[in-house]
């Protein structure tokens, strides 16, 4: 019994001791643990540069991170600096959980002209931007040179139509060995939306209504599902449920893969010299690449608003964003070139070109029930790709609009 | 049928065969987990499966403590577990005795109420507990993890069954000897449910050690993480370092294995006492 | 009828009872009961946060029962899982505890091995099992193939998906039950068995007429807790199903009531709806537990 009491007392003392410090303590939470080195470097540099504010950063898995925020923000308890993606910033912004930082923009402390247009537009909700863009991404085709070599096929160079893409995929497929030319997954942002938009369709119209039942969308989905069900150049949805498209590519079982710039680092590590990148095929007149971005934001319930704003200004700067260029494309003007440099040998410039040449489309989300409708849409795409039945899109569109109307 | 000795009866062989088969089933995932912790990243996700690593990578075991600072999380988890278990052992035994032996107004109602708590899914309680903990200013601290987890109805129920199965004559003879209720509990009955206490101690240690749902919600700063949170945080957004995860999983399991082995011996050597002579 | 005066010794009994049970009872009230009631209240609201919410009466329940397409899958899966796992985990637990209570070589080692699954974090176990159940390259199908059985698609065939979860559930729960039952077995006096031997009882008869009745309080406990655990299962299913990224066409064969609560509450931020589903689950559990307690009166011997 005594031993226990001693242990408890010691524990409490330890806790108390570690809490005492003169500087303002800021807490930062994010989920991107692959970027840990870069983010830690940013934080350390900030802490070293001044004595009034001390920032500690913690990482959690993505689902745990959002769970925590979903629980804590409505209760009024959250870290001082958080990272947000598109559905979450819409959600939190509408519910009033984010701090209004327009004073930082107006005073010029943060110069919004330094960030890509679409990153700012994507996070401006009801006319207000609640955070600072930290990175952006885009979609392109990763390919495995070894698989192309085995089929005697020249490497793709981009600037191609959908039909050309499908032909190439068929030629490099060796289904009996489990190697497919490509892997058509149901992910809206890296596969389906890109083709829908390229084909002239849209996910949501200007009124926020889902329009995935348009002819262009149906046509796009039909072409996508044909690759799986008719041309047999891609594993089925069932097969992908067991082993995801990403893992297949990592294991050298997929010749080409539509995926985002975020995978660059891990694919480069896994495939080394066999990795190549080229632009997405155009299903319609020109290719389209969904571009998503993250922001740093401050919860309104933060206890240290001034300190947080100071830190946020630092996070918005060239210096700090450059430090994460090893694993993501940072948003600040000029930092993306640093990322490209890191992966130039694979052709990484394609990713930034998609944005700079105007093919980027901001990740479409519904302004209401964004998390839920995204989930419904992804599942809906999976149903279509598994069965080839594009009329399912009618039901999906109805259901999504019903959810939005709630 | 020739029986050399009892030992080699076919029935016994069958029992062994079944037990061994079952043991393989139980151990399979662990083999995989431990072996994978020693593989390189490509080897871990290789397809078809590669059972054994080409050469064991002990790197990860070092990394866990140096780069990922797991020793801190071990300490945190140990503190949380010890506090919770010791408190629960004492208080649950008392409450179990009360519910098993004593009679008082509102007993059934109270017991029923407490049982209802067991039936509520933990997710349902998460947010209100979070708010209560927040109001008590205990968020993001080890105390915040420990205190709301101190009351254990599970423990009461478990030990109640053990107390209830002791013969009532023990109570009565204790009463005749002039013992009050607490004395009866502490000196007479408690030693008799020793096996139950050990079992409960082991179980609750395991539970506290592995718990993730509640600590995840309470804790925010990395320095307050417990093992379960730290391991889940190792999962990257788009890819996971599988061998590292397996290493963390193996390492977090080892102390519990030790706890169990020790506790299990105590169970083995405990001899049932009936308490009534003759 | 005149009011009976409570005798002094009874008063002492009450006092002892209240004092000794106070820590647990008070703690339970503050940290479990009040949250449960609060959550119950939340199920009647819908709102941006926990304090400024609007009262919507039975709207969440109405939506749950009429508009929620997932509910029927969740109900089915919850019951399917619970029934199979509880029955098997308790029966196997009793048999195992009995087998390992006798003088068998390696008894201690077996006990450790069988208990090992309970020692793992459910989440870690789910990840490992998911790899093992892979239909082409997973260990399970490779082993089945070695004995000539074509391995099914554990993770994508609706007939087998829940079965895979059940297997993991049994894997995890049996050893846990076994240990608790073992603790109870050691409390059974050897003289009962000696008496049975004198009467010429076979091993099976000893099990049925001596062990089980004497062990019945512990068996009861193990059944109750296994049932509660099974009805509230989450971590294993979450990780086995792919940790959340899975399409609905597969997820519907995995999702249980608790999964629905988790999804609504922590992914979609619909606390009111989540609480409503939690209340429904609680009602189900309540009924089942009451039935089990009625069974206690009939079958459990003290």
pLDDT in tens, A27-36: 999 988 778 8
Query: What is the reported pLDDT for C210?
Result: 83
> Which residues of chain C are within 8 Å of residue B267 when distances are taken between CB atoms?
179, 182-183, 186
Rg (CA), chain C: 24
Element (H, E) at A379: helix A370-387
The pairs formed by A319-324 with CB atoms below 8 angstroms and a separation of 24 or more are A319/A45, A320/A42, A320/A45, A320/A46, A321/A134, A321/A135, A323/A38, A323/A39, A323/A41, A323/A42, A323/A45, A324/A35, A324/A38, A324/A39, A324/A42, A324/A134, A324/A135
- Give the minimum alpha-carbon distance from C158 to chain B in angstroms, rounded to a whole number: 23
Residues of C in contact with B268 (CB under 8 A): 108
Hey, CA dihedral for B24, B26, B29, B33, is it positive or negative? negative
Residues 6+ apart with CB under 8 A from B140: B218, B219, B220, B221, B224
Q: Which residues pair with A258 in a beta bridge?
A: A141
Contact list, A75 vs chain C (CB under 8 Å): 49-50
User: Which residues is A124 bridged to in the sheet?
Assistant: A129
Rounded to a whole number of angstroms, the distance from the CA of C110 to the nearest CA of chain B is 7
Q: Does C212 touch chain B (CB under 8 A)?
A: no
Are A132 and A113 found together in one domain? yes
Task: State the pLDDT at residue B67.
Answer: 80
Q: Are residues A251 and A381 in the same domain?
A: yes
Average pLDDT score over residue span B111-118: 81
Rounded Cα–Cα distance for residues A342 and A354 (Å)? 18
Which of B183, B268, B141, B21 shows the shortest CA–CA distance to A18?
A: B141
**DSSP H helical ranges for B67-193:** 70-101, 107-119, 122-135, 142-146, 153-164, 168-176, 181-183, 190-192
> Would you state the pLDDT for residue B84?
94
Instruction: Of B135, B140, B223, C239, give the one whose Cα is nearest residue A68.
Output: B140
A99 and A222 housed in the same domain:
no
Question: Under CATH, what is the fold of the domain C66-299?
Answer: MetI-like fold (1.10.3720)
Contact A371 C269 (CB under 8 A): yes
Structural domain containing residue A124:
24-137+292-333
Q: CATH classification of B60-269, choosing from 1.10.3720.10, 3.40.50.1100, 1.10.10.10, 3.10.129.10?
A: 1.10.3720.10
Q: What pTM does this model have?
A: 0.86
Q: What is the pLDDT of residue B244?
A: 84
Name the residue in chain C with its Cα closest to that of A376.
C248
- In this structure, the number of other CB atoms found within 10 A of the CB of residue A308 comes to 26
Q: Test C249 with A382 for CB contact under 8 angstroms.
A: yes
Q: Which of B90, B217, B232 is opposite residue A71, by nearest beta carbon?
A: B217
Is a pLDDT exceeding 70 seen at residue B138?
yes
pLDDT in tens, B152-190: 888 888 888 788 878 888 888 888 888 888 888 888 788
> Same domain for A264 and A386?
yes
Between residues 156 and 195 of chain A, which touch chain B (CB distance below 8 Å)?
none
Summary mean pLDDT of chain A = 89
Indicate if A149 and A175 belong to the same structural domain: yes
What subunits touch chain C, counting only 3 or more CB pairs under 8 A? A, B
Q: pLDDT > 70: what percent of chain A?
A: 95
pLDDT range class, residue B274, cuts 50, 70, 90? very low
Q: Does A9 touch chain B (CB under 8 A)?
A: no
* Residue in A with minimal Cα distance to B132: A75
Asked whether residue B33 carries a pLDDT value surpassing 80, the answer given is: yes
State the distance between the two ends of chain A, measured CA to CA, in whole angstroms. 57
- Tens of pLDDT along B226-253? 998 888 887 765 566 778 888 888 888 8
Q: Kindly determine whether residue C139 and residue B28, on different chains, have CB atoms separated by under 8 Å.
A: yes
Residue B98 in this model has a pLDDT that exceeds 70? yes
Q: In which residue ranges of chain C is pLDDT below 50?
A: none
Q: Has residue A64 got a pLDDT over 80? A: yes
Task: Quote ipTM for the complex.
Answer: 0.82
Inter-CA distances, A160 with A157, A165, A279, A291, Å: 8, 7, 8, 20
Nearest to B216 among A8, A68, A251 (CB): A68
CATH number, residue A281: 3.40.190.10
H or E segment to which residue A341 belongs:
helix A335-342
pLDDT band, residue B50 (cuts 50/70/90) = confident
A178, B108, B110, B185 from B99: Cα distances, Å: 63, 9, 9, 12
pLDDT tier at A291, thresholds 50, 70, 90: very high
Average pLDDT over residues A306-310: 93
Closest to C301 in 3D by CA, of C190, C207, C213: C213
Q: Is B110 on the interface with A (CB under 8 A)?
A: no
Average pLDDT over residues A188-206: 92
pLDDT at B23: 93
Find chain A residues with C-beta within 8 A of C244's C-beta.
63
Residues A79 and A143 in one domain: no
Per-residue model confidence (pLDDT) at position B1 = 41
Estimate to the nearest angstrom the gap between the alpha carbon of A182 and the chain centroid: 21
Please check the confidence at residue A324 and state whether its pLDDT lies above 80. Answer: yes
Q: What local confidence, expressed as pLDDT, does residue C12 receive?
A: 82
Q: Do A74 and C50 touch (CB under 8 A)?
A: yes
For the segment B109-127, the average pLDDT, to the nearest whole number, is: 84
Contact A246 B83 (CB under 8 A): no
Which candidate from A11, A71, A247 shows the least CB-CB separation from B45?
Answer: A247
Q: Which residue of C has its CA nearest to A61?
A: C243
End-to-end CA distance of chain B: 42
What's residue B260's pLDDT?
82
> Is the pLDDT assigned to residue A13 strictly greater than 90?
no
Tokens 């209100």 -> residue: B128
B83 touches chain A (CB under 8 A): yes
Distance from CA of C141 to the nearest CA of A (A): 13
Question: Quick one: pLDDT band at residue A11, thresholds 50, 70, 90?
Answer: low
CB of C119 closer than 8 Å to CB of C197: no
A57 and A166 share one domain: no
SS3 label, residue B94: helix
Q: Which of B130, B232, B236 sits opposite A71 (nearest CB)?
A: B130
Q: Which residue of C has its CA nearest to A238?
A: C156
Per the CB < 8 Å rule, is B223 touching A18?
yes
Task: Compute the residue count for chain A.
Answer: 406
Q: Domain spans of chain B?
A: 6-57, 60-269
- C 8-37 residues with CB < 8 A to B: 12-14, 16-18, 20-21, 23-28, 30-36
Number of residue pairs across A and C with CB atoms under 8 Å? 66
Q: Which value, to the nearest 10 degrees, does the dihedral of the CA atoms of residues B24, B25, B26, B31 take?
A: 60
pLDDT of residue B164: 82
How many folded domains does chain A comprise? 2
Measured CA to CA, the distance from residue A142 to residue B238 in angstroms comes to 16
Q: Which two tokens stand for residue A10?
A: 């010691």
3-class SS letters over chain C: CCCCCCCHHHHHHHHHHHHHHHHHHHHHHHHHHHHHHHHHHHCCEECCCCCCCEECCCHHHHHHHHCCCCHHHHHHHHHHHHHHHHHHHHHHHHHHHHHCCCCCCCHHHHHHHHHHHHHCCHHHHHHHHHHHCCCCCCHHHHHHHHCCCCCCCCCCCHHHHHHHHHHHHHHHHHHHHHHHHHHHHCCCCHHHHHHHHHCCCCHHHHHHHHHHHHHHHHHHHHHHHHHHHHHCCCHHHHHHCCCCCCCHHHHCCCCCHHHHHHHHHHHCCCHHHHHHHHHHHHHHHHHHHHHHHHHHHHHCCC
Instruction: State the count of interchain CB pairs (< 8 A) between B and C.
Output: 279
């Amino acid at each position: 019994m005594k031993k226990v009491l001693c242990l408890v007392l010691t524990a409490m003392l330890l806790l108390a001791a570690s809490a005492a410090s003169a500087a303002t303590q800021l807490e930062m939470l994010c989920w991107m643990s692959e970027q840990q080195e870069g983010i830690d470097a940013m934080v350390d540099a900030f802490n070293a540069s001044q004595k009034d504010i001390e920032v500690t950063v913690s990482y959690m898995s993505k689902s745990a991170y959002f769970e925590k925020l979903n629980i804590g923000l409505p209760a009024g308890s959250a870290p001082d600096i958080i990272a947000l993606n598109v559905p979450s910033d819409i959600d939190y912004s509408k519910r009033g959980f984010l701090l209004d930082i327009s004073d930082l923009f107006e005073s010029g402390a943060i110069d919004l002209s330094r960030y890509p247009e679409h990153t700012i537009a994507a996070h401006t909700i009801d006319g207000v931007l609640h955070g600072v863009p930290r990175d952006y991404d885009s979609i392109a085709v990763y390919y495995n040179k070894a698989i192309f070599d085995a089929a005697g096929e020249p490497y793709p160079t981009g600037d191609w139509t959908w039909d050309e893409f499908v032909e190439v995929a068929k030629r490099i497929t060796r289904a009996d060995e489990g190697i497919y030319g490509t892997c058509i997954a149901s992910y809206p942002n890296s596969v389906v939306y890109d083709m829908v938009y390229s084909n002239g369709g849209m996910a949501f119209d200007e009124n926020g209504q889902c329009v995935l039942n348009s002819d262009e969308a149906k046509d796009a989905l039909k072409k996508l599902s044909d690759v799986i069900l008719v041309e047999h150049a891609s594993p089925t949805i069932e097969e992908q449920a067991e082993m995801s498209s990403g893992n297949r590519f990592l294991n050298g079982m997929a010749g080409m893969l539509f995926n985002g710039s975020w995978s660059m680092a891990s694919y480069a590590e896994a495939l080394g010299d066999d990795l190549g990148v080229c632009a997405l095929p155009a299903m319609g007149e020109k290719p389209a690449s969904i571009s998503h971005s993250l922001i740093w934001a401050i919860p309104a319930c933060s206890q240290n608003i001034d300190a947080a704003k100071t830190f946020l200004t630092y996070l918005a700067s060239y210096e700090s964003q450059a430090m994460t260029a090893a694993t993501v494309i940072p948003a600040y003007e000029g930092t993306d070139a640093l990322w490209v440099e890191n992966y130039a040998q694979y052709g990484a410039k394609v990713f930034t070109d998609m944005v700079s040449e105007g093919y980027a489309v901001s990740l479409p989300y519904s302004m209401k029930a964004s998390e839920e409708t995204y989930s419904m849409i992804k599942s809906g795409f999976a149903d279509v790709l598994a069965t080839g039945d594009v009329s399912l899109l009618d039901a999906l569109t109805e259901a999504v609009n019903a959810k939005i109307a709630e | 049928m020739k029986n050399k000795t009892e030992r080699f009866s076919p029935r016994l062989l069958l029992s062994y065969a079944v037990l061994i088969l079952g043991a393989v089933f139980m151990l399979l995932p662990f083999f995989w987990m431990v072996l994978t912790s020693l593989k390189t990243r490509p080897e871990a996700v290789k397809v078809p499966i590669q059972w054994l690593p080409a050469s064991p990578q002990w790197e990860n075991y070092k990394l866990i403590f140096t780069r990922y600072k797991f020793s801190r999380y071990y300490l945190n988890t140990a503190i949380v577990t010890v506090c919770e278990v010791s408190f629960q052992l004492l208080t649950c035994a008392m409450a179990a005795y009360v519910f098993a032996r004593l009679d008082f107004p509102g007993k059934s109602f109270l017991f029923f109420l407490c049982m209802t708590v067991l039936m509520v899914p933990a997710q349902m309680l998460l947010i209100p507990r979070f708010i209560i903990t927040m109001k008590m200013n205990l968020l993001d601290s080890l105390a915040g993890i420990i205190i709301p987890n101190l009351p254990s109805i599970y423990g009461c129920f478990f030990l109640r069954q053990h107390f209830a199965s002791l013969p009532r004559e023990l109570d009565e003879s204790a009463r005749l000897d002039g013992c009050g209720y607490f004395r009866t509990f502490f000196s007479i009955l408690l030693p008799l449910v020793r096996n139950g206490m050990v079992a409960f101690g082991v179980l609750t240690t395991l539970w506290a050690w592995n718990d993730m749902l509640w600590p995840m919600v309470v804790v925010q700063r990395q320095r307050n993480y417990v093992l379960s949170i730290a391991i889940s945080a190792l999962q990257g957004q788009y890819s996971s370092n599988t061998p590292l995860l397996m290493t963390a999983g193996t390492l977090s399991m080892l102390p519990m294995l030790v706890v169990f082995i020790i506790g299990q011996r105590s169970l083995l050597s405990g001899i049932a006492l009936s308490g009534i002579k003759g | 009828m005149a009011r009976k005066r409570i005798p002094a010794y009874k008063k002492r009994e009450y006092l002892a009872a209240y004092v000794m049970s106070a820590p647990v009872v008070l703690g339970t009230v503050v940290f479990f009961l009040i949250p449960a009631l609060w959550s119950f209240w939340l199920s009647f609201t819908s709102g941006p946060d926990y304090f400024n919410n609007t009262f919507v009466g039975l709207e969440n329940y109405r939506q749950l029962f009429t508009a929620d397409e997932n509910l029927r899958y969740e109900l089915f899966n919850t019951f399917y899982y619970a029934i199979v796992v509880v029955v098997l985990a308790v029966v196997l637990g009793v048999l195992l505890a009995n087998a390992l209570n006798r003088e068998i070589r390696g008894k201690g080692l077996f006990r450790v091995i069988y208990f090992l699954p309970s020692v793992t974090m459910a989440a870690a176990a789910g990840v490992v099992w998911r790899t093992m159940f892979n239909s082409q390259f997973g260990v399970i199908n490779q082993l089945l193939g070695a004995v000539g059985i074509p391995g099914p698609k554990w993770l994508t065939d609706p007939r087998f998906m829940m079965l895979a979860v059940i297997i993991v559930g049994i894997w995890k729960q049996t050893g846990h039950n076994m240990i608790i039952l073992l603790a109870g077995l050691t409390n059974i006096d050897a003289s009962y068995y000696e008496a049975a031997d004198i009467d010429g009882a076979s091993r099976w008869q000893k099990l049925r007429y001596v062990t089980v009745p004497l062990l019945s309080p512990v068996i009861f406990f193990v059944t109750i807790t296994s049932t509660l655990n099974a009805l509230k299962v989450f971590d294993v299913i979450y990780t086995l199903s792919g940790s959340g990224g899975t399409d609905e066409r597969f997820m519907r064969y995995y999702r249980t009531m608790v999964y629905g609560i988790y999804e609504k509450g922590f992914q979609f931020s619909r606390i009111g709806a989540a609480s409503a589903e939690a209340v429904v689950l609680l009602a189900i559990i309540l009924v089942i537990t009451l039935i089990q307690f009625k069974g206690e009166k009939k079958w459990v011997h003290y």
